[in-house]
């Protein structure tokens, strides 16, 4: 099976359309992390998600504090999955009722590898105080252990991926999908379409 590709940390509609045209299967929007250069107000993130065309997935990357009181706004927003940092169970039933999938992020070396009731698990490298987009490569051996532990749930591999290392990472971990953000940027929060195209092509060639 060809690995799927998510390009995360989108901040402009231009970058969204470019990534999808390059062959990305999903795009991610960050909200609730003001320290991140890729952070968007929730309303803006949902507006951009609504513009994602059919057969492509829009993923909201957020935390429980942001989602609290705002779960209903996801109804009809175009968001197909939520990558949720924090306590997931209180939101599971409401997301399920809206046909929104739940992705559990696991920072290798810091978090438990328990998938709980999540539909998929995303592994990322551990950088204190940073939740994604650090550019630090994850320990692929440990990522493989997480993959085996959570199977048959899909595993999404992230953490320091670039066009130069994504093929090796896929062969080592054998994930369902890969997730890239800083590895295809020309500046924090802005994607480089050449890098996006190269990343997608190499990931799907494995």
Active site residues: 8, 124
Q: Is 9 helix (H, G, I), strand (E, B) or coil?
A: coil
Q: Which residues pair with 6 in a beta bridge?
A: 26, 179
Those residues whose C-beta lies under 8 Å from the C-beta of residue 147, and which sit 6 or more positions away, are 123, 155, 173, 174, 175
Q: Which of 66, 40, 53, 84 is nearest to 189 (CA)?
A: 40
CA separation (Å) from 36 to 93, 118, 125, 136, 189?
29, 25, 16, 15, 9
């Amino acid at each position: 099976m060809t690995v799927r590709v998510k390009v995360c940390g989108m901040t402009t509609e231009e970058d969204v359309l470019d990534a999808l045209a390059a062959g990305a299967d999903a795009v991610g929007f960050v909200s609730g992390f003001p320290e991140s250069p890729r952070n968007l107000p929730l309303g803006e993130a949902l507006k951009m998600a609504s513009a994602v065309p059919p057969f492509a997935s829009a993923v909201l990357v957020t935390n429980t504090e942001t989602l609290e009181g705002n779960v209903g706004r996801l109804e009809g927003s175009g968001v197909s999955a939520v990558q949720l940092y924090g306590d997931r169970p209180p939101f599971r039933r409401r997301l399920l009722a809206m046909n929104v999938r739940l992705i559990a992020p696991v920072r290798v070396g810091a978090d438990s590898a328990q998938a709980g009731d999540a539909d998929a698990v995303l592994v990322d490298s551990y950088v204190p105080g940073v939740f994604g987009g650090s550019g630090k490569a994850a320990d692929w051996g440990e990522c493989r252990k997480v993959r085996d532990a959570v199977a048959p749930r899909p595993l999404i591999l992230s953490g320091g991926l670039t066009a130069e290392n994504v093929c090796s990472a896929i062969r080592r971990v054998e994930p369902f999908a890969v997730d890239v953000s800083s590895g295809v940027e020309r500046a924090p929060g802005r994607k480089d379409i050449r890098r996006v195209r190269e990343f997608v092509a190499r990931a799907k060639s494995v």
